[in-house]
């Protein structure tokens, strides 16, 4: 199903022309999402962002992208194991 079909033409036009993102409640109401997550504490948010940054700067992430674009199997180095220490 296409995004516009799910969202509805009027809401899609509103988002496009006004450059305003859809609210979580609107996304839930039109079936774009299944549920709205609870608000994170600033500490949790910072921890998740640090984790995300480390993943996106990692060599395995880049290998995944390159292997996909080159239509070949990825050759991961497995260096993401040190991320487990960040979770605790």
pLDDT-based confidence at residue 72 (cuts at 50, 70, 90): very high
Is this model's pTM higher than 0.85 or not? Answer: no
- Nearest Cα residue to 83 out of 61, 62, 52: 52
Radius of gyration of the chain measured on its C-alpha atoms: 19
Kindly tell me if the per-residue pLDDT of 8 is higher than 60: yes
Q: How far apart are CA 40 and CA 73, in angstroms?
A: 36
- Give the domain ranges of the chain: 1-37, 42-87
pLDDT-based confidence at residue 69 (cuts at 50, 70, 90): very high
Q: How far apart are CA 29 and CA 72, in angstroms?
A: 40
């Amino acid at each position: 199903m296409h995004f516009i079909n799910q969202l509805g033409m009027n809401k899609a036009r509103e988002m496009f022309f006004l450059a305003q993102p859809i609210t979580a409640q609107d996304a839930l109401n039109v079936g774009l999402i299944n549920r709205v997550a609870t608000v994170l504490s600033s500490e949790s948010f910072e921890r998740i962002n640090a984790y995300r940054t480390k993943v996106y700067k990692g060599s395995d992430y880049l290998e995944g992208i390159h292997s996909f674009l080159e239509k070949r199997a990825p050759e991961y180095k497995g260096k993401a194991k040190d991320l487990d220490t960040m979770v605790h």
